[in-house]
Structure 1
Amino acid sequence: MPWIQLRINTTNDLAEQISEQLEESGAVSVTFQDTYDNPVFEPLPGETKLWGNTDVVGLYDAQTDIAELQAILNLDQYSYKIEQLEDKDWEREWMDNFHPMQFGKRLWICPSWRDIPDPNAVNVMLDPGLAFGTGTHPTTALCLTWLDSLDLNNKIVIDYGCGSGILAIAALKLGAERVIGIDIDPQAIQASRDNAERNNVSQKIELYLAQDLPDNLQADVVIANILAGPLKELAPQISKLVKTDGKLGLSGILANQSQSVCEAYKTQFELDPVIEQEEWCRITGKKK
């Protein structure tokens, strides 16, 4: 069916209020977009991330009365645009544009509706959905490539901020003996559990909410793909999870934030050169 899209340019202070008004006026969905299309990392589970100049975008049935909508929302007070969206099978078009992706030498992330390019490769089956990482974002790609470069045989791995479980499942498929996934959001825990079952590795993964972690938990490899702020704040806790001589991988960090994150970890780790991709970066190191 055809749709009408209403795009209102506003500030982050007003975006939430406008979002509520759009929902009350009959919008079937409301999203936030950065006006200047700056690269923004996926927000933490449960967090709504807004930016300095924000577009609030509402989607309405094409039969919506535009004049009535303009009056209800008092649109004259905003800079806005109303446009008709082409009638397409959006789900099919989206599926057609999601392809298997290779990371490193061995690892592929494959949606379930596509043929596996290399049956002899390490294939993770993961369909994009609610939570929180599919491999398309540079930070996830950086982490997957790093995992592919490691010898994970007989290793214990912790995925801190597991989201969809993509990194945890990849680690298991790459040979890890056991993986512990940690997140602050119960939906992420459920998504990781579902994806682990889909990939037949559920017997080797343990999942915990952050507040429920067992005491004295440690691993040979710890990976955390969250955001620079939480990575710095959580540095003492994350560092304790890494065994002596164990490996640490951090991402979710803009390149201009890398130095401050390195500062938070350099006393306990011998850090490698920072790797950058599309304004994002990955920090890795070995526990002293």
Structure 2
Amino acid sequence: MSFIEVTVTASEEYAEILIAELGELGFDTFQDTENGFQAYIEEDRFEEEALQEVLERYRFAGEFPYQTKSIAKQNWNEEWEKNFEPLLISDKVSVRADFHEKPEGVAYDIVITPKMSFGTGHHETTTLMIENQLTLDHVGKRILDMGCGTGILAIMAEQLGARQVLAVDIEDWTVENARENAERNNCATLEVRLGDASVLTGEAPFELILANINRNVLLEDMPVYSQLLLPNGPLVLSGFYTQDLPLLQERAAELGLAFESSRTKNNWVSAIFRKNS
């Protein structure tokens, strides 16, 4: 399978806006550059006309030059291996590739190979989600990870003591990658499933739900999360900007989910809500 890499030149202010817009077009992996960002999408889902329409919508702010190229799945992995640096989150969680040595003194060690899947810990939302996970009790709990990407949050959940973890993503290569990463980290309770919120029909309730997706999907799927979450259970969300938080808070309140806390990094947010008992 090949992917389209789109390199866009944009200021930091508009890069954030354009990333959110391209997320609605099906782009699901983004990488900052010195002059803007790169966005990735499966080749058969790429519509250049739709991309141009988004850029034209913000023409009032100036020109946003872009370049496209097709990249093979294996080339992405080679590029990632050349540039990936091990990561330490909150001085407790190591996120690394298998060709890095395990650092000393960390409580949790996660080994991943992304293969085009989102979520290495280097993106702000993944880091923020892990930081929030570290504040929550996972021991003996049944946990859902929606939009699992590499499976990093689900792996973190198991390492934090979850008794059962279900990870769900809409992309087949992502599901394959998350399964490989789960095996790489010797996960025993983690199931990875292909699909969207509809595959949760008939599921038993969860005691904690993680969802790092994007604003619109979160708003659409929040009723499902609320229905499946046990009373007093935390719902941890990310994939949206600070200006979007009031929308999420309003929707959550309508569904009996009380806002508890949030943390931010470079305008990205991860928020914790809790289902009313």
Per the normalisation by structure 2, the TM-score is 0.75
Counterpart mapping for 1:229-244 below 5 A? 229-244=216-231
Residues 114 and 246 of structure 1, relative CA distance in 2, 3 Å threshold: same
Higher helix share: 2
Q: Identify the residue that residue 258 of structure 2 maps to in structure 1.
A: 270
Whichever of the two has the greater Rg, that structure is: 1
Select which of 182, 207, 220 maps to 2:192: 207
Counterpart mapping for 1:127-142 below 5 A? 127-142=113-128
Moved over 3 A (4+): 41-51, 57-60, 90-97
**Residues 93 and 106 of structure 2 are in contact (CA less than 8 Å); yes or no, is this contact kept in structure 1?**
no
Which residue identity is paired with 1:125?
V
Counterpart mapping for 1:13-162 below 5 A? 30-37=4-11, 38-39=15-16, 40=19, 43-44=27-28, 50=51, 51-52=54-55, 53=64, 55-58=66-69, 95=81, 97-118=83-104, 121-162=107-148
**Residue 287 in structure 1 maps to residue 275 in structure 2:** yes
Which residue identity is paired with 1:57?
T
**Residues 114 and 177 of structure 2 are in contact (CA less than 8 Å); yes or no, is this contact kept in structure 1?**
no
**Residues 157 and 220 of structure 1 are in contact (CA less than 8 Å); yes or no, is this contact kept in structure 2?**
yes
Which residue identity is paired with 1:215?
G
Aligned residues: 232
Per the normalisation by structure 1, the TM-score is 0.72
Q: Secondary structure at the match of 1:56?
A: strand
Q: Identify the residue that residue 63 of structure 1 maps to in structure 2.
A: none
Percent identity of the aligned residues? 27
Q: Return 152-161 or 31-40, whichever deviates more.
A: 31-40
Q: Identify the residue that residue 35 of structure 2 maps to in structure 1.
A: none
State the distance in 2 between where 1:164 and 1:29 align.
Answer: 17
Residues 57 and 265 of structure 1, relative CA distance in 2, 3 Å threshold: same
Q: Secondary structure at the match of 2:232?
A: strand
Structure 2 unaligned residues grouped into runs of 5+:
29-40, 56-63
**Residues 262 and 283 of structure 1 are in contact (CA less than 8 Å); yes or no, is this contact kept in structure 2?**
no
RMSD of equivalent CA atoms:
2.8
**Residue 260 in structure 1 maps to residue 247 in structure 2:** yes
Which residue identity is paired with 1:281?
V
